[in-house]
Amino acid sequence: MSQLIPEIRVGQSIELLKELHILTRDGKLNQDTRRKLKQVYHLYQFIEPLLADDSSLVDMGAGKSYLGFIIFDLFFKSKKGGHVFGIESRQELVQRSKDLAQRLKFDRMSFLGMTVDESMNATEVPQQVDVVTALHACDTATDDAIRFALKRKAKHIVLVPCCQAEIASVLRKQKGPTLSKNILTEIWRHPIHTREFGSHITNVLRCLWLESQGYQVRVTELIGWEHSMKNELIIATQKGLPTEYPSQRLRNLLNELNLENLESRFFEN
């Protein structure tokens, strides 16, 4: 089958691609699924260089474990070691993933039905992991994934944040006092700008947070803007870099934006 469709790599699981709706039921690609497959490969090219044959990868808020399955199929399936863990609180999705992994004989995949808080101390996951991913983790779920990664001393963290609303809400509440304090408040005075700026500054704070923990951070776009506005890809690699400067920058930014009440989130580790 893969030889008949040039876009599909040799050895990829056709059953998996059908389950993920990348291939149609009759094993074909249409325009939408071809674009989806291209996006999958694009994301994978960022993650593959971070992996070793024996890597442990934890996908937080895994949902249907779309990302975990793709990574296992393209990378770990041909290796003798390595393990993919999917953490998801919705039990029906966990069971569906377990069933699919069993059918595909992906025996080095585990799916854990638990919240992020429960996973922080879960014995089923190694105390130190190599890679933590969170794809389209909504609102504060990305922060939860970062907390997990920091606790498990992850070597690499790959994040695609989505629909950040919390900081925009805080900015909105603080708009009055901040307006008289700082001319920069004009950047988010209008509601639509509050939402957009809140989303942007959330990721800026996350990058500084990771840098304050010794990570080297790279920010790029996941796919073309024409496909999605939720497009930011954050890749962090633990390098043991100096932490004092980014920590101070993080505090200064929180103070400048009247977000001091969020300090405990970023400085609890």
Q: What is the pLDDT of residue 258?
A: 86
Q: What is the mean pLDDT of residues 99-126?
A: 94
Distances, alpha carbon 18 to alpha carbons 34, 113, 132, 237, in Å: 13, 24, 26, 33
Percent of the chain surpassing pLDDT 70:
94
Q: What is the pLDDT of residue 267?
A: 86
Task: Reply yes or no on whether the pLDDT at 228 is more than 70.
Answer: no
User: What is the DSSP secondary-structure string of 227-262?
Assistant: T-S--EEEEEEE-----HHHHHHHHHHHHHTT-GGG
Task: Reply yes or no on whether the pLDDT at 2 is more than 50.
Answer: no
CATH 3.40.50.150 fits 52-266, yes or no: yes
Q: What is the pLDDT of residue 223?
A: 67
pTM: 0.91
Higher pLDDT, 229 or 9: 9
Tell me if 76 sits within 8 A of 108, measured CB to CB.
Answer: yes
Q: What is the mean pLDDT of residues 31-43?
A: 82
Query: Domain ranges in the chain?
Result: 52-266
Higher pLDDT, 128 or 138: 128
Higher pLDDT, 227 or 208: 208
pLDDT tens digit sequence for 41-90: 888 999 999 999 999 999 999 998 989 999 999 999 999 999 999 999 99
Q: Who's near 98: CB < 8 A, 6+ residues apart?
A: 111
Tell me if 76 sits within 8 A of 47, measured CB to CB.
Answer: no
Task: Reply yes or no on whether the pLDDT at 40 is more than 60.
Answer: yes
Higher pLDDT, 168 or 85: 85
- The per-residue pLDDT of the chain, averaged, comes to 89
Q: For residue 197, which amino acid is it?
A: F
User: How far is it, in rounded angstroms, from Cα 23 to Cα 10?
Assistant: 15
Q: What is the pLDDT of residue 3?
A: 47
